[in-house]
Amino acid sequence: MQVRGCETAIERTSGALPRKASGRIVQLDILRAIAILLVIAQHTPLRPRDAGRLQVFATVLQYRVGWTGVDLFFVLSGFLIGGLLMGEMKKRGKLDVRRFLIRRGLKIWPLYLIYVAYFSLFILITTHGATWKSVVTSDMVCLLQIQNYLPVDRGFLWSVAVEEHFYLLLPLVFLWITRRGIKGIHQTPAIAFGLMVICLGLRIATWQLNPHYRFYTFHAPSHLRMDSLMCGVWLAYLYHFRPDTIAWIRRHRPQLFAAGGILVAVATAMFGSSKPQYGVTIGFTMIMLGYGSIMMAFLFTPLDGLCRRPARLLASVGAFSYTIYLWHTDLGIRPAAWILARLPQSILPNAMHWTAGLVLSIVFAVTAGAAIATVCERPILALRDRLFPGNSAPL
């Protein structure tokens, strides 16, 4: 591995993690791919009632599991960003917050600005009654990264705001706890646990004050959802500084997979129950811990034999996950819906019609995201790496 110190901790357990030629860990990119595929599945153009014999499966995929793809992204982002910062501190003994924020900004903002400009023009051209004032107001909400508190035309951008808020907060926290030396980084587990408890407490208090579910009240606010990102940071701390724990994780991968799956399944069932207050409070905590367990178990799972080729293909999708996420509605879901609307439904049974919508959405979204990433994102990141090289290698 390229991050000094991190490799020694991992190698003291039982071997290095498999990587692509780019140095990326294949398992993490596969999990990114799973997360983005869940998001696309949630937004597929046909509803479960149109799925025929697949209605139960479609209901679980779209209404119970699909939306949790964002929660998986949160845990992954916390793990990766926390790992970058910890790797830099282990390598250099200090943290360059300015360089970190510049590099994060060049990763997130260029493509984000392009997308915001695109959907603003799209709304003006296609939406009856849309005015420059309404579009500019929506743009300002997105540019200020408060679209997770105020509704905008592309509601899925709420998660970008949560992550941006976290990217600003985390390096400041690390600066504070390491102000007297690198040993301060060992306060990370206590801070992570404290934030998890605070977020859960805030979710419970929010339900007590607003006992009716609303997306922008319970699901999207940063102060209620940052615990998932901090959970990833805590797992990154284990990865960097606790080889004994990593060794335990390697030995108990099946149990972690099982526990993680049960936690996610039970939590998503809570959201469909007659008492949603359990879902919007402890349910988010269970999903966070479930995906954290699955991520750590899968991180050390070998990809050998017949699994290697499809794993590499899935990992390639995960490498473009941010671009796919930005454009999956406009260049994935919409084209699929347009084709399905012109396809006589009598040609295909309902189950196949729904399946065609899902497959077309995935194919269009992945193809468009990969193309935009190749044309726009990669040149920007190459320029960023020349002008502002990282102080630690990415995981």
**pLDDT tens-digit map of 18-43:** 555 456 889 999 999 999 999 999 99
Q: With a cut of 70, say whether residue 395 has pLDDT above it.
A: no
Q: What pLDDT digit, counting tens, does each position of 331-342 carry?
A: 999 999 999 988
Computed on alpha carbons and rounded to an integer, the radius of gyration of the chain in Å comes to: 21
Specify the DSSP element, H or E, that contains 276. Answer: none
Q: What is the pLDDT of residue 253?
A: 97
CB contact burial 88-103 (16+ within 10 A = b; e otherwise): bbbbeeebbeeebeeb
**Beta-sheet strands, E only, within 98-175:** none
Place of tokens 């941010």: 322
Determine what percent of the chain is predicted with pLDDT higher than 70.
Answer: 92
> Are residues 33 and 317 in contact, defined by beta-carbon separation less than 8 angstroms?
yes
Q: With a cut of 50, say whether residue 2 has pLDDT above it.
A: no
> Are residues 354 and 52 in contact, defined by beta-carbon separation less than 8 angstroms?
yes
Q: What is the pLDDT of residue 380?
A: 96
Residues near 213 by Cβ (< 8 Å), separated by ≥ 6?
Answer: 276, 280
Q: Enter the pTM of the model.
A: 0.92
Q: Residue 5 — very low, low, confident or very high, per pLDDT cuts 50/70/90?
A: very low
Q: If you ran DSSP here, which 8-state letter would residue 345 be given?
A: G
User: Across the chain, what does the average pLDDT equal?
Assistant: 90
Q: What pLDDT digit, counting tens, does each position of 293-329 carry?
A: 999 999 999 887 657 788 889 999 999 999 999 999 9
Q: What is the pLDDT of residue 7?
A: 42
Rounded distance, CA 315 to CA 181, Å?
Answer: 37
| Least confident range of 108-117, 127-136, 351-360 | 127-136
- Least Cα distance to 82 among 67, 95, 69 occurs for 95
Q: What pLDDT digit, counting tens, does each position of 38-91 carry?
A: 999 999 999 999 899 999 999 999 999 999 999 999 999 999 999 999 999 888
| Residue of 326 and 275 predicted with greater confidence | 326
> Are residues 40 and 329 in contact, defined by beta-carbon separation less than 8 angstroms?
no
Across the range 7-26, mean pLDDT stands at 52
Q: What pLDDT digit, counting tens, does each position of 117-165 carry?
A: 999 998 888 887 778 888 899 999 999 999 999 998 889 999 999 999 9
Q: What is the pLDDT of residue 93?
A: 82
* Phi and psi torsions of 211, nearest 5°: -80, 40
